[in-house]
Amino acid sequence: MSIVKRAFKNKLFLLGFVTISGILLASLFYLLVFHDHIPVSPLLYDNSGKPLPAPYNWELYPPFGTDNFGRNIAIVMLVGAKYTIFAATVITIIRVVPSILFGFLIHFYLGKIERPIKYLADSINYFPITLFAILLLKRISYDEVLMSMGDLVQPLLEMTLIYIFVLSIVYIPTNAVLIANEVKLINKMEFIECSKTLGATTWHIITKHVKPFLVPQLYIIFIKEFMQSLILMSHLGVLSIFIGGLYLKEDLFGVRRDVSISSDWAGALGMWWNLLWTPYVWIPFIPIVLLTILILAAKCILDGLQHVLSTDERIVNVPEKESTEELKQLGPFQLLNTKTN
């Protein structure tokens, strides 16, 4: 039975998968049926006829009330869910897939400069990735373009692609080195050395010997990168760097504020961050809680998958030593010991 089929029989994995899938499907359903229409509440008045400015609480507009623009918060979150999940997924794919190619390239063809490449990639880890993304995205998404183009900054598709590209490339060097290290550990296994002695080509070794061991680890790497992407998106959202860009809009107080074009959850967190210091403190906690649920769901998928791999009788660790007896000892990676015939 494949790893994926066994994973879906794990309750923890299934809980996380159903949670993320359910949120995504609900958001897509609203797009198809209601075309992402976000209702805006009219101005309300008290008994004396005095206008009551938004936000309005959950008693007047359940379940979460409205934001300072009078928009129904629940609908804003529903609309932005798909952009949040899709952006994190695409960022993760771009981080991992090229890293696989570069990882094989580093190990099999760049052996002479493998160590300097690893040193360079390790040095990147000491530079705050959030700060690097801010330096690349802040000016593009807001500062000068806002002054020259008026309220609407950039087209949604263009800014989304720029956003995804920047958040993807910053992690490729580190992931490439990680995958190169795993391939190196796999290649130390005795039967692969025998295969090389018998004249196996590099392609044969990759497809027949390395692939069965590496694929389970790629699942783990993918889920971890998805979680990291959500966290990085949240950091950037607080700093008014949103998926798809932003525009300025007057709220019902008459104050011009940043508005996320896509209404993604990280953008909503940034839009409502200043409300933490107002009586409407519950509003910014809504995207915080939803992002936390999304990350916890991914963590459930990760833990469920790791449990499936750890309970498989064919799981072994691939250490740096070559003795077959020592393969039973604990090592830095858990890999799937499938047949390689």
Is 73 within a domain?
A: yes
Is 246 within a domain?
A: yes
Is 28 within a domain?
A: yes
- What is the reported pLDDT for 203? 83
Type of residue numbered 148: S
pTM of the entire predicted model: 0.82
* Number of domains forming the structure of the chain: 1
- What is the reported pLDDT for 253? 63
Is 189 within a domain?
A: yes
Which positions ≥6 away from 80 have C-beta within 8 Å? 27, 260, 262, 263, 264, 265, 267, 268
Q: Are 102 and 117 in contact (CB under 8 A)?
A: no
Type of residue numbered 8: F
Is 156 within a domain?
A: yes
Query: Cβ-count burial of 130 within 10 angstroms (0-12 exposed, 13-18 middle, 19+ buried)?
Result: middle
Is 324 within a domain?
A: no
Type of residue numbered 106: I
| Nearest alpha-carbon partner for 160 in 94, 90, 96 | 90
Q: How far is CA 328 from the centre of its chain?
A: 34
Q: Are 337 and 314 in contact (CB under 8 A)?
A: yes
- What is the reported pLDDT for 113? 80
Is 180 within a domain?
A: yes
Domain that holds residue 114: 3-38+59-308
pLDDT in tens, the chain (341 residues): 578 888 899 999 999 999 999 999 999 999 999 999 998 888 788 778 787 777 888 888 888 989 888 899 999 999 999 999 999 999 999 999 999 999 998 888 887 787 888 787 777 777 777 787 787 787 665 544 444 444 444 566 777 888 888 888 888 888 888 898 888 888 888 877 787 777 778 788 888 888 888 888 899 999 999 999 999 999 988 888 888 777 777 766 667 777 888 889 999 999 899 888 888 888 999 999 999 999 999 999 999 999 988 876 444 443 333 333 333 333 333 333 333 33
Query: Cβ-count burial of 181 within 10 angstroms (0-12 exposed, 13-18 middle, 19+ buried)?
Result: middle
Q: In this structure, what CATH number is given to the domain that contains residue 256? A: 1.10.3720.10
Using CA atoms, how far apart are residues 2 and 81, in angstroms rounded to an integer? 30
- What is the reported pLDDT for 74? 94
Is 45 within a domain?
A: no
> Angle of helix 282-310 relative to helix 11-34, nearest 10 degrees?
130
